[in-house]
Structure 1
Amino acid sequence: QRTAQRLHRAATAFRSVSGGLRGSFQLELPHNDQDAARVFDRAADQVCVRCRQRERCWQEGYQSTRTALTDALPPILQRGEGVREDFPQWFVQQCPQFDKFLGCVNGEILSLRQRRRYDSQVRESRAAVCAQYGQLAQVLDQAAQEVSWEPEIDLRRQRLVKQYLGVLGLEGRCTVYCDPLEHLHLEIEGVGMERLGQPAELERLGSLMGCALRAECAGEGRVHLVQREPLVAVVGAAAQDREGRGVSGDLGAWFRDESGQLNVLLCDGMGSGAEAQADSNWAMGLLEKFLRAGLPPEGAFKTVGEALALRGEEEGGFTTLDLLRVDLYTGRSGVYKLGAAPTYVRRSGRVERLCGATLPAGLGSGAPDVFHRALIAGDCVVMVSDGITEGGGDGWLCQALEGFDGASPRALAQEILSKSGARLGQGDDRTVLVLKLAARKE
């Protein structure tokens, strides 16, 4: 309980830091002189101050000069540079150093854009720092809840396990409970208890408990059994790097976390080759760590996106993020996307195309497109990198998925990759991940 309280206090502290910084950052930035109207004043300070006609332009004809410059400013700002045609003909003819003046104006326009870009980056970096503190507070709160959580013992089932251990001639300590997701757990310690992790004993105990069991972990004199997921996923993959590169910027992976969620990830780094691969590796590693730590997918995506934006401030760079998350206990699923290519879901023989509209991680806000679906045994999901269709038609891919017999996800992934290559060649990295859900055999 003391540990949970300390974690809650730490979370409150970090949340206060986030709120305090956000309040301070909402104040105006230090004066950066982004006034576009001063572009001409600065140019005049460099050129007109030494001109013999400065009094005629800036005193006797001040109003005419100011009107000419004011009218020229909008097209200059829109284009990003000034040209002779932006100014009245009389002004061009009257100014003896017009070309030099125009050059100074364009130099000031460039400086103005750089100052504005700098301010924008400062604001984005400050917002990212605040968000990171907020995410850290959320993780600490979640950890505190897990530490303080006390399982409700299933006394009836626990009594049955103890009776069964007596029949086997085993003595020890056992605890039977359900976790917050209502999944059954058996923690048993004592001499010889590791034998309970064997298939035959798992089957007998499962029959006694009323649900199938699997060994989460086992060692000498102890075993931890958990309710087995009724669904099993088979994942097949196929990939091809861009011709002549030898290294792919695409990266796919999948893992099951402690809560029975299967996570299938696909990242596509900007461009191709070693630099794109490094971006994908970094983004994939961060995302997997956050998901394994229990951070919700939306929070994990936002944190990774902000980290990529900060990392790429100097050199640029971005990565698409694509996540399929399937609860193997219930079939409830979510697809999360940042700039990723469409995902194709076949349910009851019909193919649905899930297409996001967000920018890749490192470019946008980091909030992903989210699609929730309920999947059952027999359903299939196809995830691809953008090189598979390159923004063109994907009817052929939908037909391949509709005709899939379910025998080999890997074979379907290879078929899609081959058909893509025949259509588009090897001008980009290409990756296909195919997931098929099936009922676990008893």
Structure 2
Amino acid sequence: MPETTKLHPKQPVAAALASRAAVRPALRQGGAFALGLAGGWAVLYGALLPFGLGLTLGLPADCFAACAAGAALSILFHGFGAFSLDSLCLLCAVGAAVAARWLWPGRLRPAFLAGCGALVLGGVCFALGPGGAGFTLVFFCGADALLAGGFGYALQRFPPEKPGFGTLLAASAVAAALGGLRFGPLCPGAAACAMVDAALCCRGQEKPALAFAAFTGAALCAADPSLAPAAVGLCCGTAAAVLLAPGRRAETLAACAGGCVLGVLCVPAPGTALPLLLSAGLGFAAPAFFPKHWLTPVPEAPAPPEEPPRLSAAATRLEAVAESLSSLAETVNAVYDAFPRRCDTFRWVIDNTHDSLCFNCGRRETCWKQEYTTTLEGMNALRPILEQQGHLQASDLPGQLSRCIHPAALCAAANRSFALYRSRKEAHVHAEAMRTALTEQYSAMADALSVLSEQLGRPGNPEPYKSGRVAAFFASLGTPPLECAVTLDDLGRARAAVTLPRTRFSSPELAALAQETGRICRRDFDPPQVLSCKGMTTLLFCEKPALRAVFGTAGTAAKGTVSGDAVQQFCSPAAAQMILCDGMGTGRPAAVDGSLAAELTARLLKAGFTAELAARLVNVALALKSDEESGATLDLISVDLYTGTARIFKAGAAPGFLVHGGRARPVGDISLPIGILGGVNGQSRVVHLAAGDYAVLVSDGLLVDGPGWVAKQLELSAAAGDPPEKVARILVETARARAEQTGRPDDITAAVLRLESCGH
């Protein structure tokens, strides 16, 4: 048995998750507030203040409000100066952007239109009002709106917590804010930028260091043109360190200092060289006092495994297996059609009787040659007697055979031949059913494998950065993952799959893992689905859907307590499933067929089969269940909880009902049940549902008086907002009363599903 790792509640995982869940949101809020302070304070080209609004538009949903508060506080300080009208317009724009992001969460366009539009509109109002500020204010407000919109869009595309372009944008806002400050001869902006550049060069991160120098240098120049020599010095010092001594601490700091001196002195700036050199020198010297492990060179990350080719190869092999199974089914059918058919008719009974008895009889020549026509008519006259009675007696012989000298032996031979004939016919029918079931199973499995290969061939867009962060999180808990992949599907929904050594998790631990993984991926995850196999445990995280399903069911048996109707209601990771199967007839035999069909269909749906494929396999199972004829209706609805798309499949089922917008309508046409034919005669359709809508599946016993009263009752229940359990109970009780009046009792069942909004 594989060794199982048990995460005990007293182990660090629960405490670590709890502490991170409590501290990290506060740290993010504080960091966002500080970034907002810097962004609101930064002034570009002596008049523009775009960073505060841009950060409010671009930061994630959990921290944009704190950033807006910091930006508003900084803008207020500017409002006491020469830009009071511009600052007032900016404050209105930040407030409008925050309100839009609160009212339309997850939608960026309303926030951008509200923030930038309020800024431009405020400038126009102040310009056209009494004592207007003129076109200059409109120009500044328009420039601020344009820069803020571009800055916010860039931050949405490139989040600042992810190393890359977004981080450089946030750093440029901080550099611009610090560039406008002076403490005597010291420039904090130049010193801070030099310190970060030197640290990056010591860690051997050449490209990030060069990019940081370029971005922050441009921000310093935009904040104060007199800092252009400092920007040139930073770029020269970083380039020298990258080229001459990457990753070596002492040599890197010396190269940075030399390059900076050369860059500053090459720019004619009388009277400013010494203060700038002092600021840059302090910045470059600061890393010399950092702890050694802070400046340890970062090793290059190993190349990730070629996951798409591996998935593609697996998909190709599955497709090959699917084609082989399909080809096998076609070959079996083709061989069967090519073989000549053996004519097992009643003439075989006559021939076998002749061979076993008459062939050695002394009157053979007379009966089978001279009087052949009369003898053959007499033998054919035995067929209805044998088919009706199953056996033959001497008194049953027709007049054409009255001359037979062995009547008892003739009856015995005919009885044996007819019994063998009937056995051969039953074997032929059974073999035909087995062949049909075998080829149908091969075809269904081939289609299922083909669907699976298509899904593996489209694994989604990988998110390597988020995958690495999720893997690091699980490693910090003492369970390094064997595999970790975060992907986006075609609809932009995030999914995370983490494979660990065999581990058991409690429900609170799964909820905490979902919360922390969702924070890392910036998505809202449900508790993961846990799959365990061969010493490994896989956690499948899916985004919380926009809708949730509430189920209700009620039923009553025609006689006694055993009903032939069976209901299955459950939610898979992305869809709500509801199944109703009605076994043919009533009582225990019907209950066996209905329960078997519903249970098998539910298992196949949970395994990822489509409704059509599940119906084909269940049809085979019912056909081979026993020698007696078995059949059941199949009524199924599957609702995508992200989009509201509902797929309905019916095979012999009674019409169902959909309540959309308060109006009920029946759905479903006439078809045959499963289990009685070699194939499935089902019908599918796709509809769209929304929050507040109902889907109702009923057995034919509920429609004793037709579907009209059911639709009216559903509209009344929908208007009253009745829960599904109550709706199902009312339908069954009313149908039972109507059936007792008409004297046509039957099993009555109603299964109800209602969609509700998840509230996010």
Provide the TM-score with structure 1 as the length reference.
0.73
User: How many angstroms does 1:306 deviate by?
Assistant: 0.9
Deviation at 1:240, TM superposition (A): 1.8
* Aligned mate of 1:307, from 606, 621, 637: 621
Aligned to 1:435: 753
Structure 1 stretch displaced more, 59-68 or 48-57:
48-57
**SS at 2:439's partner residue?**
helix
1:250 maps to 2:560: no
Q: Which residue of 1 aligns with 2:551?
A: 235
Counterparts of 1:20-419 in structure 2, within 5 Å, are 20=328, 22-28=330-336, 34-44=344-354, 55-63=365-373, 65-66=375-376, 81=388, 92-96=398-402, 111-147=420-456, 149-153=458-462, 177-185=487-495, 213-217=524-528, 226-244=542-560, 246-258=561-573, 260-312=574-626, 314-348=627-661, 349-361=663-675, 363-389=677-703, 393-404=706-717, 405=719, 406-419=721-734
Instruction: Give 1:96's aligned amino acid.
Output: S
Q: 1:97 to 1:294 in 2, by over 3 A?
A: farther
Higher relative contact order at CA 8 Å, sep ≥6: structure 1 or structure 2? 1
Determine the C-alpha separation between the residues in 1 that align with 2:418 and 2:448. Answer: 45
Ranges in structure 1 where 5+ consecutive residues have no aligned partner:
84-90, 166-172
SS for the counterpart of 1:255 is strand
**CA 1:151–1:336: 2 relative to 1, 3 Å:** closer
Q: Give me the identity figure in percent.
A: 27
After superposition, the Cα gap between the structure-2 partners of 1:241 and 1:5, relative to the gap in structure 1 and judged at 3 Å, is same
**After the TM superposition, which of the residue ranges 392-401 and 234-243 deviates more from structure 2?**
392-401
8 Å contact from structure 1 (residues 306, 366) kept in 2: no
Distance 1:297 1:338, change over 3 A: same
Q: Compared with structure 1, are the counterparts of its residues 60 and 437 closer, same or farther at alpha carbon in structure 2 (3 Å cutoff)?
A: same
C-alpha separation between the residues in 1 aligned to 2:315 and 2:496?
28
Return the alpha-carbon distance in structure 2 between the equivalents of residues 7 and 369 of structure 1. 29
Question: Are residues 418 and 124 of structure 1, via their aligned partners in 2, closer, same or farther at CA, if it must alter by over 3 Å?
Answer: same
Q: Output the amino acid matched with 2:649.
A: Y
1:67-89 residue CA offsets vs partner (Å, 9 max, x unmatched): 6777x69x959x95599xxxxxx
Q: Which of 317, 320, 342 does residue 9 from structure 1 map onto?
A: 317
Contact 1:81 1:109 in 2 (8 A): no
Distance 1:339 1:378, change over 3 A: same
Deviations 1:336-375 (A, max 9, x none): 1233222222344142241331223354513422233233
Q: Which amino acid aligns with 1:249?
A: G
- 717, 729, 735: which one aligns with 1:420: 735
- Unpaired runs of 5+ residues, structure 2, are 1-308, 391-396, 474-480, 500-508, 531-538
Q: 1:216 to 1:12 in 2, by over 3 A?
A: same
**Structure 1, 132-141 or 316-325: larger mean CA deviation:** 132-141
Question: What is the Cα deviation at residue 432 of structure 1?
Answer: 0.8
How many residue pairs match? The answer is: 408
Please give the per-residue CA displacement for 1:16-71, whole angstroms capped at 9, x wherever unaligned: 2552354245435798651343333345556766888765543223245546777x
Deviation at 1:108, TM superposition (A): 5.4
Distance 1:268 1:154 in 2: 46
Q: CA deviation at 1:237?
A: 0.8
Higher Rg of the two aligned structures: 2
C-alpha deviation, 1:225, in angstroms: 6.1
Distance 1:50 1:151 in 2: 80
What are the Cα deviations for residues 239-298 of structure 1, in whole angstroms up to 9, with x where unaligned?
A: 223432x3333221212223x221101122344455544443433332222212211211
Q: Flag the 1:47–1:306 CA change in 2: closer, same or farther, 3 A.
A: same
- SS for the counterpart of 1:306 is helix
1:42/1:439 Cα in 2 relative to 1: closer, same or farther (>3 Å)?
A: same
Alpha-carbon distance in structure 2 between the residues aligned to 1:376 and 1:431: 25
Contact persistence 1:132–1:303 (CA under 8 A): yes
Matched residues in 1 for 2:529 and 2:359: separation?
85
TM-superposition CA deviations, 1:157-197 (whole Å, max 9, x none): 97xx99xx9xxxxxxx99864224432347899xx997685
Cα separation, 2, equivalents of 1:271 and 1:218: 39
After superposition, give the CA deviation of every residue in 1:217-249 in whole Å (9 maximum; x if it has no partner): 399xxx9764433333322211223432x3333
Q: Per-residue deviation at 1:303?
A: 1.0
Contact 2:353/2:413 (<8 A) preserved: yes
CA distance in 2, matches of 1:193, 1:134: 39
Supply the distance in 1 between the matched residues of 2:314 and 2:463 (Cα, whole angstroms).
30
Bigger strand share: 1
> Any idea what SS the aligned residue of 1:311 has?
coil
Secondary structure of 2:702's counterpart equals coil
- Give secondary structure in 2 for the equivalent of 1:403: helix
Instruction: Name the CA distance, whole Å, in 1 between partners of 2:415 and 2:706.
Output: 44
Decide whether aligned partners of structure 1 residues 319 and 298 sit closer, same or farther in structure 2, where only a CA change above 3 A counts: same
Identify the structure with the greater helix proportion: 2
Distance 1:32 1:193, change over 3 A: closer
Q: What is the CA–CA distance in structure 2 between the aligned matches of 1:8 and 1:215, rounded to whole Å?
A: 32
Moved more, 265-274 or 248-257: 265-274
String of CA shifts for 1:366-387, please: whole Å, max 9, x gaps.
Answer: 3422233233334322211233
Distance (whole Å) between structure 2 residues aligned to residue 118 and residue 131 of structure 1: 20
**How far apart, in 2, do the equivalents of 1:300 and 1:272 lie?**
24
d(CA) in 2 for partners of 1:110, 1:195: 71
CA contact (8 A) 1:301 1:367 kept: no
